[in-house]
Structure 1
Amino acid sequence: MTGLVQSALSGGRALLVGWILPSLINVLIFGFVVVPKLSRFAALGAEKGQAAIFGLVATAVLGLVLAALQTPLYRVLEGYRGWPQWLAHARRRHHLARKHLLRNRVDALALTEQERAGRLAVANESVLVAFRAHPIISRYLTTDIRKGEAWFALLNEQLHRYPLDDRQVTPTRLGNAIRRFEEYGYDRYRLDSQVLWHELNAAVPDMARQQTDDARMSVDFFVSLLYGHLLVVAAAIADFAIGNAVRPWLVAATIAVLPPLMLLWYRLAVVATDEWAGAVRAMVNLGRHPLAAALGLTVPDRVEEERAMWHLASDLVRTGFHPGQTALDTYRTAPGEWSARGEPTLPAARPSPDADGTSPS
């Protein structure tokens, strides 16, 4: 995740919508429910100035703190930090099993549709028979067929929120939804977008970069809302426990309502990663040629050779130079060729001064 996390203060709109706006929502809940006297929200008619100051200061502080801590906050939700080892392993096994089941359900549905259309290959007939004989897949297949094409598309969507490589599966849904596009460049081209993220971000067209920022902003919004709710619930529980609640019934209702909403925001954050994944995929596909040119490399015509080139380039940035990386010389572009390819060239050398110390006109 580190490669995809940008500076907390980069992009005013991303900061405002992704972190400040959800912080405002949580500050309002906190002010009305937990500390109505301190916030003056309960007496807006008489204390509008104090209420506005409290709201603005609290919103700015909370939003900026959450934005600055976004890396560890994401890591917890992705299952990389704060999880007991036994629980992380158990959840990873669960998601591996879920991914394989989704894969089998999608394949079984696709083969059934081919059979109905009379296009089922002879080699796949035995596969479909095995699916129908399986006690679990056959039960799902009957239901999935009845639900139609829209359900098939939904199953495909859920499957595509997992990384292709089973070794990349993480303990959480959000972790898998993010990991699928973190591995995209490496899986297709051996271009490690995590290692070369900043270089890639600098080389892609502005529209592709903006798409990625906008897509991530939606996920940030729900993550910020979730963590803000968590802080409000913790404060409400403390307020209720010490008997300091002004309106105990409202505090109790807040404690009961916000946790289910946190689950909803988490699910929406997972769904919102679809747009983020598409934007990152576009960055890799459209940006790898400008990135290669910026690095002084020529993308080979053959896919296997391109994968070898990106593997070497990623390894060079990740681990540093070692003798085996001299193989990268095969793909390097001579500086004199950059201008012919339309790439930036080094500034021209200043003319040598004449004997009297003046430059030629």
Structure 2
Amino acid sequence: MGDIAKGVLGGAWSLLVGWVLPTALNLAVFLLTAAPNLRDLELVRRLWPSGEGDTALLLLVAALLLGLTLNSLQVPLYRILEGYLFWPSRAYDHGCARHRDKKQRLIDRLHSLRQGRQSTAAQRSLVEERLSRYPIEAGQIAPTRLGNAIRRFEEYGHNRYRLDTQTLWNELTGTAPAEIRRQVEAAQTSVDFFVALFYGHVAVMFSTAAAAAYSGEDLALLVTTTTGLFLLLPVWYRCAVASTDEWAAAVRALVNTGRKPLAESLGLALPQDLTKEREMWTLVTRMSRRPYRDVAATAFAPYRSDPIAPQCPRFPPVP
């Protein structure tokens, strides 16, 4: 029962910090700036609280409902910022080409710093940090900074071991050590926070702009709020990109330490030879993606673990 409670509280904590808290912050800004100028609207008049206690209750309920909604929509919300959803083909291709050039410039810059005598370790570390936020393979380059920062650890398992973590994610997280899973969830929560803050700022920014156009009251406050939120958008985006460093480290640990229990749960023995291991994970990925073929029985035979012989119960001798 204690383990179940810890699991529930851990999931609730990620939800509260990652989605509900930033939603509450954005709602507070909306209630202080845009909402008073929209009180003439019928919907706002009906929902407008009559007292301070009602205001706090409205903020709490709205933050919970909107936070749950954003959490359920996190896949498309991420894909928009990564450059995969609603991006025209021209914009997608241009973004990928631009980031390929950026990656190459970082490689050249790092090479020149290593060759130069006056460069410091701090300078090289900063360039290496920026370079590490790109996928290794050129074909994996995404059109946005966040897309590349996430794609680098999505390709980690496949690049090192041919273990496709995107296909086998549920199996991998289901068999990995609990502490590693908690690290992945905690690291993703930090990125979720800034993503939710980013989208909330966009919504509040449009609402303050609409309030400024609808009502002439508090025009200076509304314009200042809209401008301030607009200037904060790139800040939260960069914070989300920087927060992926811890997420990438957690996923790297998940792959490195979770391979063995994953193989054992699938009835496979992890080969000592790395080349053989890469061949094994390639077969596992194909087995998960493609329909079954009889040739798979022969291909998996060298990697199947020996079944454990059942132990017969021992009874005391009959006197």
- Give the TM-score normalised by the residue count of structure 1: 0.78
* Number of equivalences: 297
Q: Which digits, 9 at most, give the CA deviation of each residue in 1:4-48, with x for residues without a partner?
A: xxxxx98100000000000010000000001137589xx99x821
Selected match of 1:54 from 53, 58, 61 = 58
Matched, 1:312 2:312: no
Would the aligned equivalents of 1:170 and 1:176 in 2 still touch at CA under 8 Å?
yes
Q: Which amino acid aligns with 2:159?
A: D
Q: Which amino acid aligns with 2:221?
A: L
Question: Which residue of structure 1 lines up, in the alignment, with residue 90 of structure 2?
Answer: 86
Question: Which residue of structure 2 lines up, in the alignment, with residue 133 of structure 1?
Answer: none
Question: Which residue of structure 2 lines up, in the alignment, with residue 67 of structure 1?
Answer: 71
Selected match of 1:231 from 187, 203, 215 = 203
**1:239: Cα distance to partner?**
1.7
Q: Distance in 2 between matches of 1:61 and 1:92?
A: 36
Larger Rg: 1
Q: Distance in 2 between matches of 1:319 and 1:229?
A: 43
Question: Which residue of structure 2 lines up, in the alignment, with residue 109 of structure 1?
Answer: 113
**1:112: Cα distance to partner?**
3.3
**1:336: Cα distance to partner?**
2.2
Q: Which amino acid aligns with 2:97?
A: R
Would the aligned equivalents of 1:22 and 1:228 in 2 still touch at CA under 8 Å?
yes
**1:169: Cα distance to partner?**
0.2
Q: Distance in 1 between matches of 2:131 and 2:174?
A: 31
Q: Which digits, 9 at most, give the CA deviation of each residue in 1:318-350, with x for residues without a partner?
A: 22323443301210113226x89xxxxxxx99x
Question: Which residue of structure 1 lines up, in the alignment, with residue 246 of structure 2?
Answer: 275
Would the aligned equivalents of 1:34 and 1:245 in 2 still touch at CA under 8 Å?
no
Q: Distance in 2 between matches of 1:316 and 1:10?
A: 33
Question: Which residue of structure 2 lines up, in the alignment, with residue 29 of structure 1?
Answer: 29
Judged with a 3 Å threshold, the aligned counterparts in structure 2 of structure 1 residues 245 and 52 are, in CA distance, closer, same or farther, namely farther
**Greater alpha carbon shift after TM alignment, 301-310 vs 61-70:** 61-70
Q: Distance in 1 between matches of 2:236 and 2:28?
A: 18
Question: Which residue of structure 2 lines up, in the alignment, with residue 262 of structure 1?
Answer: 233
**Greater alpha carbon shift after TM alignment, 54-63 vs 94-103:** 54-63
Q: Distance in 2 between matches of 1:285 and 1:111?
A: 33
SS at match of 1:284: helix
Selected match of 2:189 from 217, 221, 229 = 217
Would the aligned equivalents of 1:245 and 1:251 in 2 still touch at CA under 8 Å?
no
Question: Which residue of structure 2 lines up, in the alignment, with residue 162 of structure 1?
Answer: 134
Q: Distance in 2 between matches of 1:312 and 1:281?
A: 21
Matched, 1:249 2:198: no
Q: Which amino acid aligns with 1:174?
A: L
Runs (5+) with no aligned partner, structure 1: 1-8, 114-144, 341-347, 350-361
Q: Distance in 2 between matches of 1:227 and 1:10?
A: 24
Q: Distance in 2 between matches of 1:207 and 1:220?
A: 20
**1:193: Cα distance to partner?**
0.5
**1:201: Cα distance to partner?**
0.2
Question: Which residue of structure 2 lines up, in the alignment, with residue 178 of structure 1?
Answer: 150
**1:247: Cα distance to partner?**
1.5
Q: Which amino acid aligns with 2:286?
A: D
CA RMSD of aligned residues (A): 2.3
1:282-321 pair list within 5 angstroms: 282-321=253-292
Q: Distance in 2 between matches of 1:253 and 1:85?
A: 35
SS at match of 1:298: coil
Q: Distance in 2 between matches of 1:325 and 1:86?
A: 41
Would the aligned equivalents of 1:183 and 1:192 in 2 still touch at CA under 8 Å?
yes
Q: Distance in 2 between matches of 1:246 and 1:332?
A: 73
Q: Which amino acid aligns with 1:211?
A: Q
Q: Distance in 2 between matches of 1:246 and 1:149?
A: 55
Q: Which amino acid aligns with 2:23?
A: S
SS at match of 2:116: helix
SS at match of 2:152: helix
Judged with a 3 Å threshold, the aligned counterparts in structure 2 of structure 1 residues 61 and 323 are, in CA distance, closer, same or farther, namely same
Q: Which amino acid aligns with 2:121?
A: E
SS at match of 1:336: coil
Would the aligned equivalents of 1:190 and 1:308 in 2 still touch at CA under 8 Å?
yes
Question: Which residue of structure 2 lines up, in the alignment, with residue 14 of structure 1?
Answer: 14
Q: Distance in 1 between matches of 2:257 and 2:291?
A: 26
